[in-house]
Amino acid sequence: MSDPLEQPADSLAALERIAGEAEAYLASLATAPVRLGRSDEAAEAFDGALPDEGLGTLAALGQLIEPGLDAHVRSSGPRFFHWVMGGATPAALGADWLTSLLDQNAGGWDASPLASRLELLSLRWLRELFGLPANWDGVLVTGGQMANFTGLAAARQWWGERHGTDVSVDGLTGLPPAPVLTSGFVHVTGLKALAMLGLGRGRLTTCADSVGGMDLAALERELRDLDGAPAIVIGNAGEVNTGLFDPVEGIADLCQEHGAWLHVDGAFGLFARVSPRTAELAAGVERADSVISDGHKWLNVPFDCGFAFVRDPELLGRTFAAGAAYLPEAAEDRPIFAYRAPELSRRARSLAVWATLAAYGRSGYRAIVERCLDNAARLAAQVEDSNDFELLAPVPLNVVCFRYRPPGTPESELDDLNRRISEAVLTDGRVYVGTTSWGGKVAFRPAFVNWRTTAADTDLILETLRDLGSRPAS
Ligand SMILES: Cc1ncc(COP(=O)(O)O)c(C=O)c1O
């Protein structure tokens, strides 16, 4: 019972068990509560010491499913608007199951020609989807965080080399602090990447206008003061609370003039380029040196998946080089992705990326993006037309930043009121909406990236928040 070797057929039985759950589960996504009120208690059911004797495959899966479904959040469903999290398209979901079945290591061609070839091709298709230069290249990583790390690692390598130092070999010792400049829109994962890279999250210079976006005049002053010393600039294509964009084209002009590296975080905002309605927002990204985006956001592949692109992939090669006697050597047309990425052994994320792009193509992704744009615009209009909600920022893309403001409520009470709703909405189950602080005010910031979300799902947002807001404080 405890040794899988005694029950080799269990693998198929395990898959059948999960496939059996899938039918009801997928049907529930449209209507079941996003999260149950008892989810925390259900999660606590998982406890106890490591069993001496295992339960066996199906019993263990049964125990995983039972409290598991009560404890999980239907984040791949259409009424989940928290963070910026997509669902999984049917093709991506199927390919992801196949990924686990085949259990490929995407480290190199000898470990998996399939994963390596599909990574090469997926990256090419993504460049085509986003209109990035054909001679760039990149790598699939676990998400926006590691993509920012990867792009900024290439930037650090470039910066070291400008000082005559190969940072990947000799480290940072003896080098001056690296100037890194950005706007107030920088995402926390950019800061964490700087921390991990030894560049220091606290050494960042912020050039922000009154809203937080890049102040081009301030950036120009900073770059001029560096007097030709190499610098790294982070542009933000899609601020997480509002979807606002830095003026990437203007930043690219300054970086070009002053010889600075331009890294653009487009974790979800790069998808603006998929629709002619919003492409202009991310104009100039093609002039950057490194650009990142996420797969598990608007591409709607399952967790975890992100991608980093660089103008000069050799920099990734020098940064993440990891040759060893037992490992393969890269060939001209066969890059070893483990030598471009932080990880050596890697999940074959390319199967899901390839499958979803093959299944829906350019027009399918344009449809997904535009549906999300329509839903965001619909919600923004509802907020503006109401007398009890207040829009706190423009809505250029897919995030709507607003708060509840019923007539007659004093300003001094609004933060508490919105905080109270924000706590209630996370266990209410009708919609799942995240909260933030914007302009010093507690605000909601639903983000639309899920392919399943309809106008009717969108309409539930204000209805639910209004209902929760009208309840007396307990
Ligand atoms: C602008 C931006 N950059 C980076 C990230 C981090 O992405 P991930 O959560 O995939 O690491 C996010 C996540 O929301 C984001 O909005």
Per-residue pLDDT tens for 205-218? Answer: 999 999 999 999 99
Is the same domain home to 24 and 150? no
User: Does residue 35 contact residue 79 with C-beta atoms inside 8 Å?
Assistant: no
| Of the residues 359, 388, 412, the one at which a domain ends | 359
Is the same domain home to 353 and 366? no
Nearest residue to 141 (alpha-carbon basis) of 2, 430, 341, 402:
341
Single-letter amino acid code for the residue at 126: L
* Over residues 18-36, mean pLDDT: 96
| 82 lies in some domain | no
CATH number, domain of 267, equals 3.40.640.10
Rounded to the nearest whole angstrom, what is the distance from the C-alpha of residue 143 to the centroid of ligand 1? 7
CA 140 to mean position of chain CA atoms: 12
Q: Which helix (H) or strand (E) holds 232?
A: strand 232-236
| Of the residues 298, 328, 359, the one at which a domain ends | 359
Is the same domain home to 185 and 249? yes
Q: Which of 294, 298, 301 to probe ligand 1 with, by most ligand atoms within 8 A of CB?
A: 294
pLDDT, residue 252, reads 98
| Pocket lined around ligand 1, Cβ cut-off 6 Å | 83-84, 143-145, 187, 189, 238, 240, 265, 267-268, 294, 306
Q: Which of 80, 240, 449 to probe ligand 1 with, by most ligand atoms within 8 A of CB?
A: 240
Is the same domain home to 257 and 310? yes
Single-letter amino acid code for the residue at 270: L
Radius of gyration of the chain (CA): 24
Structure tokens at 226: 């560096």
CA distances from 355 to 102, 172, 303, 349 (A): 15, 41, 15, 10
How far is 295 from 352, CA to CA, in rounded Å? 9
**Segment 61-108, tens digit of pLDDT:** 999 999 999 999 999 999 999 999 999 999 999 999 999 999 999 999
CATH number, domain of 460, equals 3.90.1150.170
pLDDT, residue 473, reads 84
Structure tokens at 342: 């932080």
Buried b (16+ CB within 10 A) or exposed e, 136-175: bbbbbbbbbbbbbbbbbbbbbbbbbeeeebebbeeebeeb
Domain that holds residue 146: 96-359
Max Cα-Cα span within the chain: 73
pLDDT above 70: residue 362: yes
Is the same domain home to 146 and 222? yes
Atom of ligand 1 nearest to the CA of 146: 11
Structure tokens at 289: 């040196």
**Crossing angle of helices 10-28/57-71, nearest 10°?**
20
Give the residue whose CA is nearest to atom 5 of ligand 1. 144
Is the same domain home to 295 and 393? no
The dihedral built from the CA positions of residue 307, 308, 312 and 316, taken in this order, carries a sign that is negative
pLDDT, residue 329, reads 86
Is the same domain home to 126 and 167? yes
Rounded to the nearest whole angstrom, what is the distance from the C-alpha of residue 151 to the centroid of ligand 1? 14
For 24, residues 6+ apart whose C-beta sits below 8 A from its C-beta are none
| Of the residues 74, 105, 127, the one at which a domain ends | 74
Is the same domain home to 332 and 393? no
Rounded to the nearest whole angstrom, what is the distance from the C-alpha of residue 20 to the centroid of ligand 1? 33
pLDDT, residue 23, reads 95
Rounded to the nearest whole angstrom, what is the distance from the C-alpha of residue 17 to the centroid of ligand 1? 33
**Crossing angle of helices 411-428/455-470, nearest 10°?**
120
Structure tokens at 223: 């770059």
Rounded to the nearest whole angstrom, what is the distance from the C-alpha of residue 60 to the centroid of ligand 1? 33
179: left (phi over 0), alpha (psi -120 to 50) or beta: beta
Instruction: Report how many domains make up the chain.
Output: 3
pLDDT above 80: residue 474: no
Is the same domain home to 206 and 287? yes
| 83 lies in some domain | no
Is the same domain home to 215 and 193? yes
* Over residues 300-317, mean pLDDT: 98
pLDDT, residue 352, reads 98
Q: Does pTM surpass 0.95?
A: yes
How far is 85 from 68, CA to CA, in rounded Å? 20
How far is 462 from 379, CA to CA, in rounded Å? 8
Q: Do β-strands 402-404 and 389-391 pair in parallel, antiparallel, or remain unpaired?
A: antiparallel
| 367 lies in some domain | yes
Structure tokens at 258: 């002053």
Share of the chain above pLDDT 90, in %: 95
**Segment 412-443, tens digit of pLDDT:** 999 999 999 999 999 999 999 999 999 999 99
| 80 lies in some domain | no
Give the residue whose CA is nearest to atom 2 of ligand 1. 267
pLDDT, residue 237, reads 98
Query: Where would I find the H helices in 171-309?
Result: 188-196, 216-225, 248-258
| 163 lies in some domain | yes
| 84 lies in some domain | no
Question: Which neighbouring-strand residues pair with 438?
Answer: 441
pLDDT, residue 256, reads 98
- Chain mean pLDDT for the chain: 97
| 89 lies in some domain | no
pLDDT classification of 220: cutoffs 50, 70, 90: very high
Is the same domain home to 237 and 317? yes
Query: Where would I find the H helices in 140-200?
Result: 144-162, 167-170, 188-196
pLDDT classification of 331: cutoffs 50, 70, 90: confident
Q: Do β-strands 290-294 and 261-265 pair in parallel, antiparallel, or remain unpaired?
A: parallel
Is the same domain home to 28 and 70? yes
Q: Identify the three-state secondary structure at position 445.
A: coil
**Segment 234-268, tens digit of pLDDT:** 999 999 999 999 999 999 999 999 999 999 999 99
User: Does residue 159 contact residue 114 with C-beta atoms inside 8 Å?
Assistant: no
pLDDT classification of 41: cutoffs 50, 70, 90: very high
**Segment 128-149, tens digit of pLDDT:** 999 999 999 999 999 999 999 9
pLDDT, residue 1, reads 57
What is the DSSP-derived secondary structure letter of residue 213? S
Rounded to the nearest whole angstrom, what is the distance from the C-alpha of residue 394 to the centroid of ligand 1? 20
Rounded to the nearest whole angstrom, what is the distance from the C-alpha of residue 309 to the centroid of ligand 1? 16
What separation, in Å, do the N-terminal and C-terminal C-alpha atoms of the chain show? Answer: 51
